[in-house]
Amino acid sequence: MPDRFTPTWTISIDRPQQQVFDYITDVARHGEWSPKPYRVEGAPSAPVTSGTTFVSYGWIPGDKEHRNDCTVTTVDAPNSLVIRSKEKDAEFVNTFRLSTKDGATVVEREIDMPKPPGIVGVLFPAILATVIKPGVQKGMKMLKANLEQAS
């Protein structure tokens, strides 16, 4: 079993790539397209730059105020955004890659995550398939809906 997992999600959004990129890099708005309660503290209200730090609080089973200390490591407008987040002894890397295809913006999100310790680690492939992947996909659909409803 691998020590890390790197699932990806992809969605096509009928909006210009720069508009989608600007929305994704406004991390203070990430709660708008999170399927679970999520908020950001300490982030600028404008798009982030490399080196920006902030704290996110999200819902996970057993912890409705789950804290992550986040650092933006890459901003390559309008193509990619990379955010490293740390919680306790674990590090996650969220990568958003954007491209244009057939007039729409394709957003690929990858989360590089560690295998949890203990029994959760043994069960993690099933948790990833039945809870995490569908949850993140729901968020990607919310991202699409928010952007496509915007004028």
What domains does the chain contain, in order, with CATH numbers? 4-149 (3.30.530.20)
How many angstroms separate the most distant Cα atoms in the chain? 48
Q: Is the previous residue joined to 116 through a cis bond, with omega within 30 degrees of 0?
A: no
Element (H, E) at 21: helix 17-24
**How many C-beta atoms surround the C-beta of residue 62 within 10 A?**
6
What are the structure tokens assigned to 80, written together? 């990619």
Cα–Cα separations (whole angstroms), residue 45 to 11, 26, 41, 54: 25, 7, 10, 11
pLDDT tens for 64-118 read 999 999 999 999 999 999 999 999 889 999 999 999 999 999 999 999 999 999 9
Q: What is the pTM of this model?
A: 0.94
How confident is the model at residue 105, as a pLDDT? 98
